[in-house]
């Protein structure tokens, strides 16, 4: 699937990923990078910006070595599949098989928007990532958040990571034409504009070949199933591999 500018007859407006109704379809994209072993983010460590309760404890930095953090929503968290079946873990297995010293932290949170993610970026950076793969905005689109607000939040996230010396890889997303062709175009344009402005490695559409394919999605029509996550992992691998190899060539491999 290369372009999703047309209308989708089965799209309905919903509050966000994680609060979906059966038959809803969203065209969106996320991409990521991963490492040989998954370091899950425990629920009790999720910051208050994304859950009720007291402020979270400061997460412990990952063990010494090269670390990739997936920073996203339920598509990254792997809603509806086991943690080891989500695409970040699948990519991590590929790195492990090649004996490359990368570790992975899945910092995906169900229902995250770019606003709630921006509120927890400093918390995520305390894990001391080498690479931050930013895969956010799906819930912004579903909730009708203005594209310029999404862009401001993403810009803040990217800049905070850059200021901390962390390499960033950006994923693009798309909305179906049912949300209005002008809105869909403005939303889609956010991601390449940011990629150009910050000169970032960029995957335009995470769900290339997965969106709207019933055999690759769960019953809600949005969240990929196990086969869908496998396809996403294969799709994001070239950009991810190039970004990691650049760091390795610069002497960052351990």
Domain regions of the chain by residue span:
62-252
pLDDT on residue 44: 35
pLDDT on residue 35: 35
* Nearest alpha carbon to residue 4 among 218, 170, 208: 208
CATH of domain 62-252: 3.40.50.1110
pLDDT on residue 78: 96
pLDDT per position in the chain (254 positions), as tens?
333 333 332 333 334 565 443 333 344 433 333 333 333 443 333 444 444 333 444 455 545 569 999 899 999 999 999 999 999 999 889 989 988 889 988 999 999 999 999 999 999 999 999 999 999 999 999 899 999 999 999 999 999 999 999 999 998 998 877 778 898 899 999 999 999 999 999 999 888 889 889 999 999 999 999 999 999 999 888 888 888 888 888 876 54
pLDDT on residue 30: 34
User: Helix or strand or coil: residue 15?
Assistant: coil
pLDDT on residue 16: 58
Q: Which residues have a catalytic role annotated?
A: 74, 220, 223
pLDDT on residue 194: 98
* Nearest alpha carbon to residue 150 among 108, 194, 109: 194
Alpha helices in 135-201 (DSSP H): 138-142, 147-163, 181-198
Cβ 235 vs Cβ 208: under 8 Å: yes
Q: Report the distance separating Cα 199 and Cα 168, nearest Å.
A: 10
Q: What is the pTM of this model?
A: 0.77
């Amino acid at each position: 699937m290369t372009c999703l500018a047309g209308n989708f007859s089965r799209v309905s407006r919903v509050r966000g990923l994680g609060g979906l109704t059966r038959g809803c379809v969203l065209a969106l994209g996320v991409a990521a990078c991963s490492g040989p072993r998954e370091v899950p983010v425990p629920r009790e460590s999720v910051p208050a910006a994304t859950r009720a309760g007291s402020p979270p404890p400061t997460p412990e930095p990952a063990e010494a070595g090269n670390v990739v953090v997936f920073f996203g929503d339920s598509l990254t968290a792997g809603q509806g599949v086991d943690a080891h079946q989500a695409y970040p873990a699948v990519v991590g297995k590929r790195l492990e098989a090649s004996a490359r010293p990368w570790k992975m932290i899945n910092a995906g949170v169900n229902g995250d928007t770019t606003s709630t993610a921006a509120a927890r970026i400093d918390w995520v950076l305390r894990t001391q990532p080498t690479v931050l793969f930013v895969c956010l905005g799906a819930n912004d689109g579903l909730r009708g958040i203005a594209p310029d607000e999404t862009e401001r939040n993403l810009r803040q996230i990217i800049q905070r990571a850059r200021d901390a010396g962390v390499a960033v890889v950006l994923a693009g997303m798309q909305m179906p034409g049912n949300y209005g062709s002008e809105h869909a175009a403005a939303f889609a344009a956010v991601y390449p504009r940011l990629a150009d402005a910050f000169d970032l490695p960029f995957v335009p559409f995470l769900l290339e070949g997965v969106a709207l394919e019933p055999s690759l999605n769960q019953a809600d029509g949005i969240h990929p199933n196990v086969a869908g996550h496998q396809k996403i992992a294969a799709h994001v691998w070239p950009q991810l591999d190039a970004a990691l190899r650049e760091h390795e060539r610069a002497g960052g491999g351990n």
